[in-house]
Amino acid sequence: MIKTERLTKHYGTIHALTEVDLEVAPGEILGFLGPNGAGKSTTLRILSGYLPPTSGKASINGLDLMNESLAARRCTGYLPENFVAPSELRVSEYLRFRASLKGLRSKQVPAEVQRVAKHLGLEPRLRQPFSALSKGFRQRVGLADALLGDPPALLLDEPFSGLDPLQREEFRTILKNLATSGKAILFSSHVLPEVEEIAMRVQILHHGRSKAVGTLEDLQSHLHEKAKLCLRLSESGAQCEQVLTDAAKELDFSFTEQNDKSYLIELNDHSKRSELFQRLAASKLPVVEFRELRPDLDQLFRNLVEESPS
Partner 1 sequence: MGAMSRRLRLGLLTMFAAACAITFTVLLLYTFSRPGLRVRIDLSSTGTAGLSDRTVTALNQLPEDSRLTAFLFPEDDSFRWFNSNVYPQAFDRITSLMEDARVQSGGKLQTLVVDINSPMVAREREINRSARKPGEAIILESGGHRRVITFEDLFQILRANVNDNTPARIQLERVDAALGDAAVALASGTTLKAGIVTGYGQASPTDPNGLLGLSQLLVRDNWEPVEIEGPADADDCDLLIFVDQKQPFLPSDLSAMETWLAEDKAVLVALGPNASPAAAQQWNQLLKDRGTGFEPGLLCEPIRSANGMVEGRSDCAKLELNSERFSGQHPITIPLIEDNRLLLVIGARPVIFQSGTNDFTQERLLRTDPLAWADSQDPNGLVFSYDKNEERGIRSIAVASERWAPGEEGRMGRIVALGSSASLGPGLDFNRDFITSSLQWLGGDERQASGLIGLGERPFRPDRASLARINNMSVYGIPGVTLLIGLWIFWRRKR
Partner 2 sequence: MRAFVALWRREVFSMMVSPFAFVLLGVWFLLNGMLFVVALNTQQVMDDLRLLPPFLFGSGMLVWLLLPAFPPLLCIRLFAEEHRVGTLEPLLTAPIRDFAVVLAKYLAACVFFLLFWGGVLLLFLLLHWHGGDLDWARVLGGMTGAILTSFLFLATGLWASSWSSNLVLGAGGGAALNYLLLFVPALFELNEGALGAVARSMHLPNFLDRGFSAGLLDSYALVYMLGLSALFLFLTWMRLVSRRWVP
The site for partner 2 (CB under 8 A) is made up of 9-10, 45, 48-55, 69-71, 73-74, 76, 78, 80, 82-89, 93, 97-98, 100-105, 142, 145
Q: What part of residues 49-68 is at the interface with partner 1 (CB under 8 A)?
A: 52, 54-55
Q: Is 88 in the site for partner 1 (CB under 8 A)?
A: yes
Assign residue 150 a region (left: φ > 0; alpha: ψ between -120 and 50; beta: otherwise): left
| Cβ proximity to partner 1, 132 vs 293, nearer residue | 132
103 binds, among partner 1, partner 2, none (CB under 5 to 8 A by kind): partner 2
Q: Is 273 in the site for partner 1 (CB under 8 A)?
A: no
| Cβ proximity to partner 1, 88 vs 217, nearer residue | 88
Q: Is 272 in the site for partner 1 (CB under 8 A)?
A: no
The binding track of 124-163 with respect to partner 1, each residue x by CB under 8 A or -, is -----x----------------------------------
210-to-5, 270, 302 alpha-carbon distances in Å = 12, 24, 15
Residues in the chain: 310
Number of residues forming the site for partner 1 (CB under 8 A): 8
- The identity of residue 7, as a single letter, is L
The binding track of 174-203 with respect to partner 1, each residue x by CB under 8 A or -, is ------------------------------
Q: What angle do CA 70, 52, 61 make, to 5 degrees?
A: 45
What sections of the chain are H helices per DSSP? 40-48, 69-74, 91-101, 109-119, 135-147, 165-180, 192-198, 216-222, 238-251, 273-282, 297-307
Find out whether 244 and 250 touch, Cβ atoms under 8 Å.
no
73 binds, among partner 1, partner 2, none (CB under 5 to 8 A by kind): partner 2
Q: Is 100 in the site for partner 1 (CB under 8 A)?
A: no
* DSSP state for residue 152 in the 8-state scheme: S
Stretch that binds partner 1, among 47-55, 181-189, 227-235, 301-309 (CB under 8 A): 47-55
| Cβ proximity to partner 1, 55 vs 161, nearer residue | 55
DSSP string of 47-115?
Answer: HHTSS--SEEEEEETTEETTTSHHHHHHTEEEE-TT----TTSBHHHHHHHHHHHTT--TTTHHHHHHH
161 binds, among partner 2, partner 1, none (CB under 5 to 8 A by kind): none
Alpha-carbon gap, residue 175 to 199, rounded angstroms? 10
| Cβ proximity to partner 1, 55 vs 236, nearer residue | 55
Q: What part of residues 278-307 is at the interface with partner 1 (CB under 8 A)?
A: none
48 binds, among partner 1, partner 2, none (CB under 5 to 8 A by kind): partner 2
Alpha-carbon gap, residue 261 to 249, rounded angstroms? 21
107 binds, among partner 2, partner 1, none (CB under 5 to 8 A by kind): none
Q: In the chain, how long is the greatest CA-to-CA distance?
A: 79
Binding site for partner 1 (CB under 8 A): 8, 10, 52, 54-55, 88, 90, 129
